[in-house]
Chains A and B, each alone.
Chain A
Amino acid sequence: MPAENPFQDPLRFERRIPPCAVVIFGANGDLTKRKLLPALYRLAYDRRLSPGFAIVGTSRTPLTDDQFRDKMKEAVTSFSEDTQLDEDVWKTFAEGLHYVAGDLGDVGLFQRIGEKLAHLDEAHQTGGNVLFYLSTQPSQYALAAQGIGAAGLQHGAGWRRLVVEKPFGHDLASARELSDHLHEVFTESDVYRIDHYLGKETVQNILAFRFGNGIFEPLWNRRYINHVEITAAESIGVEGRGAYYQEAGALADMIQNHLLQVMATIAMEPSASFQATSVRDERSKLLRSMKPMTPDEIRQNAVAGQYGPARIGGEDVPGFRQEPGVSANSNTDTYAAVTLFVENWRWAGVPFYVRTGKRMPKRVTEIAIHFNNAPLAIFDGETGDGTPNLLIVRIQPEEGISLKFLSKRPGAGMKLRPVSMDFNYGSSFGERSPSAYETLLLDALLGDATLYTRQDMVEASWAVVEPIQNAWHADGFDFPNYAAGTWGPAAADAMLARRGHEWRKP
């Protein structure tokens, strides 16, 4: 009997999801409507789902299956960015949509879900394969996992997996506590902690760029790289998420997870293979090589900020404290900038400047790798602005890679000026890029955890971030300290200036 499908042709066939059911906890929530359903529908549209694919949505709101289908149809129509609703595809997809209402604290809910899954297994031949997706409030993760465990739903004829959304705790202790709760029911290999940044095409392309090409890796170290900037700027404010954001802040909401994962991808050692364990081991090793800072170091190397009111483009924009749902004396950081160091032979002494903020001049996420200057300036006096080589990996909005170098200006004399060599993802590949959620859901359904975060990575990130949080709270804040529509507080510029650097204005 063959161990694997003998008819596979990986060169031509796309990976297809085996028959299975997805149970979404929090199915009436924003994430389900904006991201999960549009992504699952797109997978159906692309014929990546198996015919028996089914979804069981659950939340407290009483709904019939048909009402749930109507709501989800509306969500797919409203929030699919580049996919029009095809009535034929939707009809088949909607037949697999089911709903079970109930409270996560009610044992009966999980029994009903179990009955529904048994029914679907019979009707849709899902083979007992189930993916549980926790799209609820983070405070309910443990409760949902316990409910699944008490009803015995973590075991069945097929595979059972659990996807958890960030935040994975609010500090190291709570992250460990959450993992302990999840591990009471699921083994670590069946827990998929989703970080949607890792599902972005350009972040995955960092691996291709670094390890698929021979010319960059020899330069990828302290001898040639002077410093690295990672920026994730948003032009919008908290957009109705004030209450949630007030509890999290920029450092915990962005740096602890997304940006440290991006940094790990940029700085990790090459993995022996592209197997999930191998890649995740290297990412984890990098995160563990980051030096947690002392309170004194934190004062020098970390800056918190909060935006104040301003007038942008002729419109008055409120400060964070004036946003709905936010306390008038909130001390939440809407901006965070940190200088991090990796203590290994490759990166010793190279500063990694990581910043994120809301209400910045534009929406942009990018990594800028600053190379050392040429060792000898033979064109003294004629060198344009003397900019060193710069490699920019743009994650959003226009995904691509640019290399900046100096070139001779046409004409007499040796006048140099910086020029840019651009690779634009959208122009070079006419194919549509899948959304991060499509990629990550597909991976979870196929059992590929390469792009998912592991417990040890979460703990290593918190080990770096938690001392900063503690020091900031101990020292207090003087907020607001930057105006909406600017690139953050002056202290963040001073942080780089101490090492003779300055932030790029992307």
Chain B
Amino acid sequence: MAATPPEKILKELAELWVTTSKEGGGEAAQGVLRACSMTLIVMTEDRDDPADLGETIAALMPEHPARTIVVRLTGGGDRSLGQRVFAQCWMPFGQRRQICCEQVEITCADASLGDVPSVVLPLEVPDLPVILWCRSPRLLAMAEFSALAGMARRVLVDSGALPDAPAVVRRLADEAARGMLLGDLAWTRLSRWRQSLAQIFEDPHNTGCLAGSARITVCDAGAITTRALYMAAWMAAALEAAGVSPAVRIRTSAQPTFAELECGSFHVRLERQDGHLTAIVNGLSQWTLMPKPDDYLLLREELGIVNHDPVFEKTLASAARFSYSTGE
């Protein structure tokens, strides 16, 4: 195994600032400002496009400045670890001082995955939150995942990339029950849907229609997804908390993805088609543009949360219960 002592990386990081300060110290410049509000560990696969990921991280840094540690899994069997250190810098509009964040890239063969925590732990910035973003679906199934997740305060996964949604939801709910603070990009993708539904009930007249029992239907194209489970579970949990008894149906069809709520004579349907989200309230419809959110938008939202996310945690627990009764 090629040795990658963390002291060497820390020394390179220190040297990086000396070099960057010199480079940023031109005549009109005012030096370089180091910005850091968290450690972001990104677990990714070698085949994951480095340019795409690099752009996402660079875009995130102005809002969530971080020491980013990208761990790239190369597969294979030889025990090898490699690393490089560099800075992500930007010049805020109208200012003369560059702001820079540190980035460390570690390449790692599968066989060396067990060595990663001993390298990464000393690199975490003290006293600031540590977020692990697991982009590798393969890693979730590996035994080393727990040790890697244990380095972070919060773990972000994307269950949308995984097969067998009911089983995935149960697994995530188990991890959450054991104390792991989780975020799921499949849940983040629902924010616009959820916000549209919440907006409808900002009108007290509509909220007043919620009484007695209600029927929730969530439909996804193809197979049952974690997204559908989350949406149904969230709606049901919110209604239960408001004293309404919901009956839930999750199904698949060739129709566009939709979520529907019926409560007495009140009827709401949210439907996504051709990049639009249509909200239909008692027959009156209104649509808004809803382009597919990219990783930057999803992470931007998730990195704003460094502690518990009570609504998601409740939804996840509820979705795990639904996962046993899906498949209609």
Q: Which residues of A contact B (CB under 8 A)?
A: 1-2, 4-9, 11-13, 16, 18-19, 47, 50-51, 127, 424, 426-431
Contact = CB atoms under 8 A, between A and B. Distances in A.
Residue among A2, A16, A431 with the highest chain B CB neighbour number at 10 A:
A2
Contacts of A9: 194-195, 198, 311
A6 B194 CA distance: 11
B92 A6 contact: no
B118 interface: no
B191 A12 contact: yes
Interface in B75-96: 92, 95
B191 A6 contact: no
B149 interface: no
B35 A6 contact: no
B153 to A, nearest CB: 16
B62 A11 contact: no
Interface in B240-270: 241-244
B201 A6 contact: yes
B95 to A, nearest CB: 7
Contact of A427 (B33, B211, B242, B288): B33
A6 B310 contact: no
Closest 6 CB pairs of A and B: A430-B62, A2-B242, A6-B242, A7-B198, A6-B238, A430-B63
Given A11-B309, A11-B310, A18-B203, A5 B92 contact: no
Contacts of B203: 18-19, 127
Contacts of A6: 201, 207, 210, 238-239, 241-242, 244
A54 B197 CA distance: 22
A2 B207 contact: yes
Nearest to B210: A2
B297 to A, nearest CB: 13
Interface range on chain B (Cβ under 8 Å from partner): 35 or more
Interface string B53-81: 00000000111010000000000000000
Given A6-B242, A427-B35, A427-B92, A18 B210 contact: no
B52 interface: no
B199 A16 contact: yes
Contacts of B241: 6
A6 B202 CA distance: 9
Contacts of B23: none
B141 to A, nearest CB: 29
Interface in B309-323: 309-311
B63 A429 contact: yes
B35 A13 contact: no
B175 interface: no
Nearest to B187: A12
Interface string B178-202: 0000000000000100110111011
Given A1-B211, A2-B242, A7 B97 contact: no
Nearest to A5: B201
A431 B61 CA distance: 11
A12 B301 contact: yes
B205 A7 contact: no
Contacts of A11: 305, 309-311
Contacts of A424: 33
B208 interface: yes
Nearest to B261: A7
A93 to B, nearest CB: 14
Contacts of B238: 6-7
Contacts of B61: 430
B205 A127 contact: yes
B9 to A, nearest CB: 25
B19 interface: no
B286 interface: yes
A131 to B, nearest CB: 16
A191 B268 CA distance: 36
Contacts of A13: 191, 194-195, 198
